[in-house]
Amino acid sequence: MNKIEHIGIAVKNLEATNALFEKLLGVPNYKIEDVLSEGVKTSFFKAGPNKIELLEASNENSPIAKFIEKKGEGIHHIAFAVDDIVAEIERLKKEGFIVLNETPKKGADNKLVAFVHPKSANGVLVELCQEIKD
């Protein structure tokens, strides 16, 4: 894993939270994107070299809706940038981690993504991200 790619935060109201984070970070978001496969609407902020992803459920069956119902708003996942997501999935499986996606899928912000189950990472949902090269 190369670096923390972003920190994902589950929110109830993306518009209100965008305004809050714009004040907090002193910069506007740079992208809003719907990820239909996950049932979320995302908003990305950059603060120096760091990125924050805000996630709002776009339907009641979304993993984000279920997360907020169970735990409330807050940090949902930590994403790490990787060079070869397929190799990283295999490496983590061999190390005993529960990987939720055997095959990477298209995520937000032009990334291939896969997730590591929080039960195998001390309660932290870990996202692997690889930049999609055209």
pLDDT in tens, the chain (134 residues): 889 999 999 999 999 999 999 999 999 999 999 999 889 999 999 998 999 999 999 999 999 999 999 999 999 999 999 999 999 999 999 999 999 998 999 999 999 999 999 999 999 999 999 999 87
38, 59, 55: which is closest to 115 by C-alpha? 38
d(CA 98, CA 34) in angstroms, rounded, equals 27
Contact 39, 62 (CB under 8 A): yes
The predicted structure's pLDDT at residue 130: 97
d(CA 85, CA 54) in angstroms, rounded, equals 23
The predicted structure's pLDDT at residue 37: 86
Furthest C-alpha separation in the chain = 43
The predicted structure's pLDDT at residue 19: 98
Show the tokens assigned to 91: 């490496």
3-state secondary structure 80-118: EECCCHHHHHHHHHHCCCCECCCCCEEECCCEEEEEECH
The predicted structure's pLDDT at residue 122: 94
Show the tokens assigned to 26: 């002193």
